[in-house]
Amino acid sequence: MSTATIARPPGPRNYIPFQALLQFRKRAPDYLQQLTREYGDVVYFRMGTQDIHFVNDPDVIKDVLVTSQTKFRKSRMLQRAKALLGEGLLTSEGATHLRQRRLAQPAFHRDRLRNYGQSMVEYAVRSRGRWQDGQTLDVAGEMMRLTLAVVAKTLFNADVDHEAVDIGESLVVVLGLFETVLLPFSEYLEKLPIPAVKRFERARSRLDQTIYRIIAERRKSPGDHGDLLSMLLMAQDEDGSGGMSDVQVRDEALTIFLAGHETTAVALTWTLYLLSQNPEIEARLHCELDKALGGRLPTVEDLPALKYVEQVFAEGMRLYPPAWAIGRMVTERYVMPTAEKWELEPGSIVLMSPYVTHRDARYFEEPEKFDPDRWLPERADQRPKFSFFPFGGGTRVCIGERFAWMEGVLLLAVIAQRWKFKLAPDQVVEKRALLTLRPKHGMRMQVEAR
């Protein structure tokens, strides 16, 4: 069937070449939210030369991510991310991805997670101990430094606290790649000796320096250290003929290293911002912490008693999901399970946005309101499963989902035990949609001792 004969879902007309692309780059989450308000739950538009089908229906989202997932692969953005991540868990496909996931999965089993909890608390105590009453901090930077230290220690048994500033600056540069990725012909731009490309290459080299150093140190003391890196280094091919090369380990380690701290840091930053704007919720959070912990530090065993902390963290991720958009490229003919039975040809992109779906009034009453009580079981159980999907779904669901939930609750608990936060008077709060939904201007806040 030719492309010309396929009926398209409703959507905007681009009277100016690359109009949708320009709008998307300028204000992506808000642009997608506007599209679904104007055209419905399935919207067609062209972004540059690419056919995009934006979906805001939980049933279709489930079909794409779970039921019909074999008809899709990762979309352009993550394919282009191989320039940084190589063939890591986030970018690989098919049998390679399944093998890599199988090798890494044991690092996230329940018993291992329990052991990670103590390190999470220890590093949170170290972070909160650096702050002083009345001090103004960039909370976004502080959370990046904290979660970077946590993931390095728990998954790689390494201490990178002294390198945190350099690594953080490098991350800002490499994540800027994902703005360039959406430009037409970006694969050719990246080969030119222009300043942006040179900055990216220097930043990638800086990150590689840290990862290869950690790998080299571990190869000198092989064995199971109880972390992900041990499993990667001990992994053998299925016929037992050999292990992973340093390059293969690097790709996996860097992927987990970046994804494992960036997303949680962003989620914590937005959650602390939301608490600063809702003092009654902040007070209730403090009340639960005082009652459940009595002034002592939390442990993994305390998690069942920290339900409101978990609800607060969940609500922060609802309003500001770190992975704000998920894309899939059609690999074979796909018919959407909608009344119209829209047909998509191979090469088309299905785009889904947790940011947009999480703010849909059909599933979340007063969607712009910060309301942790919407996560009480009697309310949460009434919603479609894929009305809330901050970690994706299907076989490509985030491998560290349980790790992230535990980390978010424990770090939030340790920090809120001792400090309250007040937004700096001159702080402008705007979103910047890169690979994650970062605060565009950081998040300067004043800390107040409880």
Q: Is the dihedral of CA 191, 197, 201, 202 positive or negative?
A: positive
Mean pLDDT, residues 23-47 taken together: 91
Reported confidence tier of residue 4, pLDDT bands at 50, 70, 90 = very low
pLDDT(15) > 70: no
pLDDT(6) > 80: no
DSSP conformation class of 351: E
Q: Which CATH class is domain 3-449?
A: mainly alpha
Q: For tokens 């899709």, name the residue.
A: 72
Distance, in Å, from the CA atom of 105 to the CA atom of 101, rounded to the nearest integer, reads 6
pLDDT(47) > 90: no
Mean pLDDT, residues 357-361 taken together: 98
Q: How far lies 66's CA from each of 14, 70, 128, 230, in Å?
A: 32, 8, 40, 31
Reported confidence tier of residue 247, pLDDT bands at 50, 70, 90 = confident
Q: Quote the tokens at residue 155.
A: 């998954």
Distance, in Å, from the CA atom of 311 to the CA atom of 403, rounded to the nearest integer, reads 16
Quick one: pLDDT at residue 20?
72
* Least confident residue range of 173-177, 200-204, 405-409, 424-428: 173-177
Distance, in Å, from the CA atom of 404 to the CA atom of 406, rounded to the nearest integer, reads 5
* Cβ neighbours of residue 182 closer than 8 Å, sequence gap 6 or more: 21, 24, 25, 47, 48, 76, 77
Q: Quote the tokens at residue 123.
A: 């590093």
Contact 344, 289 (CB under 8 A): no
Residue type, 205: S
Mean pLDDT, residues 243-249 taken together: 81
For residues 381 and 234, which has the higher predicted lDDT (pLDDT)? 381
The model carries a pTM of 0.90
HSE-CB for 431 with a 13 A CA cutoff: 21
Mean pLDDT, residues 99-119 taken together: 85
Per-residue pLDDT tens for 74-103?
Answer: 876 666 667 677 787 777 778 887 877 887
Per-residue pLDDT tens for 49-74?
Answer: 789 999 999 999 999 999 999 999 98
What share of the chain has pLDDT > 70, as a percent?
90
3-state helix, strand, coil in the chain (%, to 5): 55, 10, 30
Reported confidence tier of residue 286, pLDDT bands at 50, 70, 90 = very high
DSSP conformation class of 439: E
Task: Give me the helix-helix angle, 246-276 and 401-418, nearest 10°.
Answer: 40
Q: Where are the domains of the chain?
A: 3-449
Per-residue pLDDT tens for 206-233?
Answer: 888 888 988 888 888 888 887 888 888 8
Distance, in Å, from the CA atom of 147 to the CA atom of 152, rounded to the nearest integer, reads 8
What share of the chain has pLDDT > 90, as a percent?
56
Distance, in Å, from the CA atom of 265 to the CA atom of 277, rounded to the nearest integer, reads 19
Q: Quote the tokens at residue 182.
A: 């959406």
Q: Quote the tokens at residue 17.
A: 């070449």
Quick one: pLDDT at residue 246?
86
Residue type, 167: I
In this structure, the number of other CB atoms found within 10 A of the CB of residue 297 comes to: 15
Cα-Cα-Cα-Cα torsion 265, 271, 273, 274, nearest 10 degrees, comes to: 160
Q: Quote the tokens at residue 103.
A: 């090798």
Mean pLDDT, residues 390-410 taken together: 94
Reported confidence tier of residue 260, pLDDT bands at 50, 70, 90 = confident
pLDDT(179) > 70: no
Distance, in Å, from the CA atom of 76 to the CA atom of 349, rounded to the nearest integer, reads 8
Q: How far lies 192's CA from each of 76, 183, 186, 196, in Å?
A: 20, 14, 10, 9
Reported confidence tier of residue 178, pLDDT bands at 50, 70, 90 = low
Mean pLDDT over each residue of the chain, to the nearest integer:
88
